[in-house]
Structure 1
Amino acid sequence: MPKDPIGVIGRLNAASLMMITPEFYTLRSKRAKSAGKIKHGCAKFSIKTAFVQMDGLKIRYATGGNADGPTVLFLSPLPQSILCYDATWSALSATANLVALDLPGFGQSEGNISYMTFAAQSAFLQKFIDEHGLTDVHIVAPDIGMPVALHYVLHREHKAKSIMVGAGPSVQPSKNGSLVKKMIGSRFWRFMFTMTGAPAFICGANQLAYLHHRPSDAEVADYLASYSGRIGLVTKWFKGYPDGCKDIDPHLATLNVPVHIFWGEHDAFLMADNAKKLHARLPHSALTIFKNCGHFFYQDNSAKFTDLVWSWVNGGYTFDTKRGH
Structure 2
Amino acid sequence: MTDAIFQSSSPEFIEIDGLSLRLVRSEGQGLPILMTAPWPQSIYAFHGIWGALTRLGPIVAVDLPGFGRSERRPDLMAPQPMGDFVLKLAAALGIARCHAIGPDVGTSALLFAAAARPDLFESVVVGSGGANMERLGKGLRGVIEAPPGAYGEPEGGAQVVGTITRMTRTTPPAEAMEDFRQSSLGRRWIEAADYVRAYPRDLPRLEGLLPAIRTPVLVISGAHDPIVPPANGDFLVERLPHAAHTVLDTGHFVWEDDPDGYATAVSAWIRGGYRSA
- Do Structure 1 and Structure 2 share a fold, with TM-score over 0.5? yes
1:223 to 160, 174, 180: 180
Distance in 1, matches of 2:53 and 2:141, equals: 36
2:11 to 49, 54, 66: 49
Aligned residue identity for 2:32: T
Q: Does 1:234 align with 2:195?
A: no
Distance in 2, matches of 1:139 and 1:183, equals: 27
2:214 to 256, 266, 274: 256
Correspondences of 1:39-188 after superposition (within 5 Å): 44-46=4-6, 47-66=9-28, 68-156=29-117, 158-170=119-131, 172-187=132-147
Structure 1 spans left out of the alignment, 5+ residues: 1-42, 321-325
Distance in 1, matches of 2:121 and 2:173, equals: 32
Q: 1:157 to 1:283 in 2, by over 3 A?
A: closer
Note the alpha carbon deviations across 1:110-157, whole angstroms, 9 max, x for none.
012122111221121101101111133111111001000001011246
Note the alpha carbon deviations across 1:212-253, whole angstroms, 9 max, x for none.
232111111101111112122122222211111122011111
User: TM-score under structure 2 normalisation?
Assistant: 0.92
Q: Does 1:309 align with 2:270?
A: no
Note the alpha carbon deviations across 1:58-91, whole angstroms, 9 max, x for none.
100111131x223211101001001111232212
User: TM-score under structure 1 normalisation?
Assistant: 0.79
Could you tell me which residue of structure 2 aligns to residue 191 of structure 1? 150
Aligned residue identity for 1:202: V
Aligned residue identity for 1:83: Y
> Contact 1:263–1:288 at 8 Å: present in 2 too?
yes
Considering only CA atoms, is the larger Rg found in Structure 1 or Structure 2?
1
Could you tell me which residue of structure 2 aligns to residue 318 of structure 1? 275
Distance in 2, matches of 1:127 and 1:70, equals: 18
- How much is the aligned-residue C-alpha RMSD, in angstroms? 1.7
Shift of 1:161: 0.6
Q: How many pairs align?
A: 272
Shift of 1:93: 2.4
> Contact 1:65–1:92 at 8 Å: present in 2 too?
no
> Contact 1:52–1:59 at 8 Å: present in 2 too?
yes
Distance in 1, matches of 2:227 and 2:138, equals: 7
Shift of 1:158: 4.8
Distance in 1, matches of 2:33 and 2:216, equals: 14
Q: Which has the higher relative contact order, 1 or 2, with Cα contacts under 8 A spaced 6 or more apart?
A: 1
Distance in 2, matches of 1:122 and 1:178, equals: 25
Distance in 1, matches of 2:236 and 2:83, equals: 20
Distance in 2, matches of 1:248 and 1:303, equals: 31
